[in-house]
Structure 1
Amino acid sequence: MSASTTPEIPEKWVNCPQCGGPSLYASSNRFRPFCSERCKQIDLGAWASEQFAVPAQPGSDDLLAEGH
C-alpha cells in the first residue's frame, strides 16, 4: 500500500471587504476575510453603530400604527 497524501489546497486571495487590499482566505488568517485586525474592528464598529442597514418602506402594520 502507498502512503496516503493530503491534496495540496491552493492559496485563495480575496479583497478585504474594508480596505480592498489583498487578504489570504485561509484558516491561517485569523482575521479572514479581512486583511488585519484593524479592518475587522472597523467593520465591527460599523455594525455596532448601525451604519449597515437595509432600507425598508413602511408596511401596512406601520401605517396602521400611525393612524393612516
Structure 2
Amino acid sequence: MTCPICQRASTSEYRPFCSKRCADVDLAKWMTGSYAIPSQDPDDADAVIEAMEDALQQQDKPH
C-alpha cells in the first residue's frame, strides 16, 4: 500500500500513511475543508448558514 499523500510505502505504525508528517498533512486537509465535496445547489449553502446561526444562538442562551 502506498501513502495517499506522498506515494511512498506505508508503515504499519501510521497506516495508510508512511509517517506522522503525512498523517498530519492529511488531518490538516480535513480540518481546513480541503476534502469537502463542492455543491452546485445554492440551497445547501443556505441550510448550512442557518444551522450555524441557530447553533450560535443556542450557545448565547443561559443554562
TM value normalised by structure 1 = 0.57
Runs of 4+ in 1 over 4 A off after TM superposition: none
Match of 1:40 in 2: 23
Match of 2:33 in 1: 50
Number of matched residues? 45
Percent identity between the aligned chains? Answer: 40
Match of 1:30 in 2: 13
TM value normalised by structure 2 = 0.61
Runs (5+) with no aligned partner, structure 1: 1-13
The alignment yields a C-alpha RMSD, in angstroms, of: 2.0
**In 1, Cα distance between equivalents of 2:23 and 2:38:** 24
Runs (5+) with no aligned partner, structure 2: 47-63
